[in-house]
Amino acid sequence: MEERHKRVLQSNRSNLVRDLDPSKLYDGLLEKGVFTQDMIDEIQSSGTRRDQARQLVRDLETRGSRAFPLFLQCLTETGQHSLAEILQSGAPSVHLQPVAPTQVVRPAVQPLPLLPEESMRSRPQGRVRRDSIQSYKMDASPCGHCLIINNVEFEPECELNNRSGSNIDCDKLERRFKALNFTVEVKTNLKQRQIKHALSALSKKDHSQCDCCVVIMLSHGTEVSHNRFPGAVYGVDGQHVPVQHITNYLNGQHCPSLQGKPKLFFIQACGGGERDTGFEVSPDEAPPSIRGEDDQTDAIPMSSSSDSLSMSDEPDARATLPTPSDILVSYSTFPGYVSWRDTQSGSWYVETLDRILEENAPTDDLVTMLMMVNNEVSQNSAKGLYKQMPGSFNFLRKLLYFQSQT
């Protein structure tokens, strides 16, 4: 497919996923040689109508130069005129009439020409089609296990402040991942040893019927030496667990039933003790959102701090994986910096993540949504001064789309 046509599809992906009725298109796309029967079978087995629409659009981009105009023709023939007009307006040189009618009437004899790279790639008969960039299977019910460790009240001798507002974060994420069809388990106020035990128990579960696994850590954090993933999170006893160890519990060696499946780690914790004051931007940049007096951080209290802001969790250490595939670690803040939490509404990161997942999970992949989170959180400002920048260490091999509620 020509690059300009790919851009039209990509820029209208949300509209297509929301409004397209793939079931009306299958016969026409098969007759015109755009897809083979095996490809259509795979699209139909991808899940809900939205899932099928998303898969159809992605697969369409891998087909021949005539795939786009024939797709527009099928939309018109099946009464999906508004979508056809939207796509046509973005590609004015495309005509809905078949380029070679004789080819359309005899698809079995003269199928649609494939892209050069597609025609060079042999496809074993009956084998499920997978492109180099493809999406993870995410249609199991339940989709997988989600473990949330929420450390709020810390032992006095460890000199870590209690994390007011963390229960708000925990409640939001529990509801959100239940809505995404995960089995959610919440554990509160765990010591270091108990954190390790909970992760070990999760790794020993049978995940063979699941498609994904999620671990969410809500606690104080600190910087530790690392090879891949920075930081560590604290137990309520003041002893920390490196993120490196946290991810290792679910790697292919320690949890064989999760091999090849996405393992997601969300860390609401400080990446260190430094406070980011940001830098000046041009006037046309979006104005920052000024947060209130209730902003706190989850880092270790600093002796030089005299204001009412407390620091959030520090960065977590990375997992020493021989092959860290199918792992994504999302941090609430850039390594070395504090992460802000409002005692009334919860942390900036979790509040934004929850809303982005609610609004965009039906149409966007996880990495795209995390970029949205990064952008929105970066616009916030604690007391008009301090900033925060989330980020991720991404070792996923494919796109990840959560199950949509349609």
How far is C-alpha 289 from the chain's CA centre?
A: 24
Domain that holds residue 53: 3-89
Whether 355 and 207 share a structural domain: yes
With cut-offs at 50, 70 and 90, classify the pLDDT of residue 42: confident
| Length, in residues, of the chain | 406
Whether 149 and 239 share a structural domain: yes
145 catalytic residue (yes or no):
no
How much is the pTM?
0.64
The mean pLDDT value for 359-372 works out to 93
**206 in any annotated domain:** yes
Q: Which residue has the tokens 């990495």?
A: 367
Give yes or no for residue 116 having a pLDDT over 60.
Answer: no
Whether 345 and 257 share a structural domain: yes
Mean pLDDT of the residues in the chain: 78
81 catalytic residue (yes or no):
no
Of 73, 89, 105, the domain-final residue: 89
Whether 197 and 66 share a structural domain: no
Report the CATH number at residue 70.
Answer: 1.10.533.10
Distance, in Å, from the CA atom of 370 to the CA atom of 391, rounded to the nearest integer, reads: 8
The mean pLDDT value for 187-215 works out to 96
* In contact, 234 and 188? CB cutoff 8 Å: no
Distance, in Å, from the CA atom of 307 to the CA atom of 327, rounded to the nearest integer, reads: 38
pLDDT of residue 366: 97
Distance, in Å, from the CA atom of 227 to the CA atom of 321, rounded to the nearest integer, reads: 9
Whether 63 and 156 share a structural domain: no
**406 in any annotated domain:** no
pLDDT digits (tens, 9 = 90+) for 76-95: 999 999 999 889 887 544 44
Report the CATH number at residue 206.
Answer: 3.40.50.1460
pLDDT of residue 133: 58
**281 in any annotated domain:** no
The mean pLDDT value for 370-385 works out to 77
Give yes or no for residue 309 having a pLDDT over 50.
Answer: no
Distance, in Å, from the CA atom of 335 to the CA atom of 291, rounded to the nearest integer, reads: 22
Whether 197 and 70 share a structural domain: no
pLDDT digits (tens, 9 = 90+) for 217-235: 999 998 887 677 888 999 9
Whether 38 and 181 share a structural domain: no
Q: Which of 207, 220, 226, 240 is catalytic?
A: 220
Whether 250 and 366 share a structural domain: yes
How many domains does the structure of the chain reveal? 2
**Residues 6+ away with beta carbon under 8 Å from 210:** 140, 142, 143, 144, 145, 257, 261
Whether 186 and 70 share a structural domain: no
With cut-offs at 50, 70 and 90, classify the pLDDT of residue 5: confident
* In contact, 8 and 91? CB cutoff 8 Å: yes
**112 in any annotated domain:** no
The mean pLDDT value for 364-378 works out to 92
Whether 175 and 60 share a structural domain: no
pLDDT digits (tens, 9 = 90+) for 94-103: 444 444 443 4
Q: Which of 74, 143, 212, 270 is catalytic?
A: 270
Distance, in Å, from the CA atom of 155 to the CA atom of 240, rounded to the nearest integer, reads: 13
Of 56, 73, 89, the domain-final residue: 89
Of 72, 89, 106, the domain-final residue: 89
**309 in any annotated domain:** no
Whether 150 and 68 share a structural domain: no
